[in-house]
Amino acid sequence: MRFSDLEGRRVAVWGLGLEGRAALAALSARGIEATVAESDADADVLRAAEVVVKSPGVPVSSPLYAELATAGVAFTSNTDLWLSENADRAIGVTGTKGKSTTSSAIAHLLGALGEEVSLGGNIGVSLLDAAATGTVVMEVSSYQAQSISVSPRVAVVTSLFPEHLPWHGSEERYFSDKLRLVSQGASLVVAPGHDRALVGRIIAALPEGATLHLTHLPSQGVLAAGDAALAVRTDPGRAIGAREQSGLIWDGVGAIAPGDLPLVGVHNAHNLALAVLAVAVALDITSGDPRAVQLLDAVRTFAPLAHRMETVPSRDGRRWIDDSLATAPEAVIAALSVFPDEPVALILGGADRGLDLSPLAAYLRGRHSPVHLLLIGPAGARFGREHAIDLPHAAIEFTRMADAVAWGLSVANPANVVLLSPGAPSFDEYRDYADRARHLCELIAP
């Protein structure tokens, strides 16, 4: 939906946070009057509207949303309004995990090649507020993707596993909402070729005429065009992928060893490979292009984001890792996989969203190097009840994260690595994941 579609209609803005305020300012600048509903208590304002500009925080599973949709009220959002007028210059990045790192890396790589680039969306800058010039790399949450009616020209999907289920209403609805970034008309789609389940879902959502580009290496095997009735790009000029032992490789261009990558862990190497492939696809760069070497080399200068496998100073000589943004079990597995042969003290838990914790339990069941589970919050307590008794790893339950950190600092802790990778939100104790990370740093500061 475009801003021009709102002219002369009864418009309401639902939610008055960052995005709601940006929507009001953008509407006012275009001479479009709008009423405001700060919460469900203002339901009559919404019932009187023809179009509602919905903030991402408003869940589509709410009874009021269902009532309005049934009554024929049309919904749009900041993301939808901006994309409807700017899709051709947008690179959209979504995924359950990895989207912030990947979108930031794409923006960095474009800038290193001399392109004019802006970064916005879920990463913290409203697209309507930003001076969104040149190519715009936009991080898109599932909340934002749910409302879009137009896809960006280039859509990147990093990963897909269940999260935010209460907001979306079901696992399948979450997957469907997430993949609207692809399904609403994307021309070029980039995804990790090693994740066959994800690729299958993308194929089902892919618009007619779109091309799917997969990270891969020739020896790993890829999906061939015959696997589905669509174009799956496997040209040798963009054979880009990641391996745990080999790092990031672009066949015919070069390689970056794991120790020289700016981020630790093979999952981060996969995210960086996605970023390289996305830029190569967007700018039509293949291995024979002089820009290819420059593009690959620019990976080395990417600055890691905070709270994503970030080593933080401590007073006890151990290596403390802030991975506070890991709010799903699959993200915890990726973090632990960085230390396959080392004992790790893992701070696990927080607010409980009812996610299936069995994938993490299965990983721990097969892991030989010990993990000392420091369980916190309702999610940690549930993991202890449902899974810890059957695992070959010690588990201790703590009332607060501060108590778990104190144990991690003590002589009782035999591990040299302490990992805050909670696999759950922070809202049982903290404002957000950054506040949780800040408190960790305070507790262990030299």
Domain end (from 39, 59, 76): 76
pTM of the model: 0.82
| 8-state DSSP, 298 | H
Q: Is 54 labelled a binding residue?
A: no
Would the annotation count 170 as a binding residue? no
> Residue 352 corresponds to which tokens in the numbers above?
């409980």
H/E segment holding residue 84: helix 78-86
- Number of Cβ atoms within 10 Å of the Cβ of 31: 8
Same domain as 238, residue 273: yes
Spans in the chain with pLDDT lower than 70? 124, 129-131, 162-168, 217-236
187 marked as binding residue: no
Task: Tell me how far CA of residue 105 lies from CA of 109, 129, 173, 189, 302, in angstroms.
Answer: 6, 22, 29, 17, 6
Look at residues 249, 278, 301 and tell me which one is the last residue of a structural domain: 301
Residues 427 and 319 in one domain: yes
Within this chain, do residues 90 and 191 fall inside the same structural domain, yes or no?
yes
Q: So what's the pLDDT on residue 324?
A: 95
Residue 101 is assigned to a ligand binding site: yes
Nearest C-alpha neighbor of 80 from the set 59, 41, 53, 42 = 53
Q: What is the model's pLDDT at position 29?
A: 93
Contact yes or no for 378/304 (Cβ under 8 A): no
CATH code assigned at 189:
3.40.1190.10
Does residue 263 sit in the same domain as residue 127? yes
Non-local (6+) Cβ contacts of 358 within 8 A are: 387
- Structural domain of 56: 3-76
Residues 318 and 411 in one domain: yes
DSSP state of 52: E
Assess whether 29 and 151 both reside in one domain: no
- Quick: pLDDT tens for 191-207: 998 888 899 899 999 99
| Both structure tokens of 185 | 């008309």
Count other Cβ atoms within 10 Å, centred on residue 66.
12
* Cα dist from 337 to 256, 330, 408, 425, whole Å: 20, 11, 20, 21
Task: Of 428, 348, 418, give the one whose Cα is nearest residue 380.
Answer: 348
Neighbours of 252 (CB within 10 A): 13
The total number of structural domains in the chain stands at 3
Closest CA to 87 of 154, 13, 164: 154
Q: Comparing C-alpha atoms, which of 375, 385, 371 is closest to residue 424?
A: 375
If asked whether residues 297 and 345 sit together in one domain, one would say: no
Do 185 and 258 belong to one domain? yes
Give the chain's length.
446
The answer to whether residues 112 and 238 belong to one domain is yes
- Specify whether 90 is located in the same domain as 72: no
Handedness of CA 131, 137, 138, 139 (dihedral sign): negative
Q: What CATH code is carried by the domain that includes residue 61?
A: 3.40.50.720
Helix, strand, coil proportions of the chain in percent (round to 5)?
Answer: 40, 20, 40
Q: What local confidence, expressed as pLDDT, does residue 167 receive?
A: 61
In the sheet that 74-76 helps form, which strands lie side by side, from edge to edge?
Answer: 34-37, 11-14, 51-54, 74-76
Per-residue confidence (pLDDT) for residue 420, from 0 to 100: 98
pLDDT number for residue 306: 84
Query: Is 98 one of the annotated binding-site residues?
Result: yes
Left if phi > 0, otherwise alpha if psi is -120 to 50, otherwise beta: which for 8? Answer: left
Is 20 annotated in a binding site? The answer is no
Residue 248 burial by CB count (10 A; 0-12/13-18/19+): exposed, middle or buried? buried
CATH assignment of the domain containing 427:
3.90.190.20
Cα(332)–Cα(358) distance, integer angstroms: 12
Residues 295, 344 within the same domain: no
Domain match, 383 and 261 both: no
Backbone angles phi, psi at 157, to 5 degrees: -120, 120
Last residue of a domain, one of 279, 301, 323: 301
Single out the residue of 235, 74, 243 nearest to residue 147, CA to CA.
74
Q: 399: annotated binding-site residue?
A: no
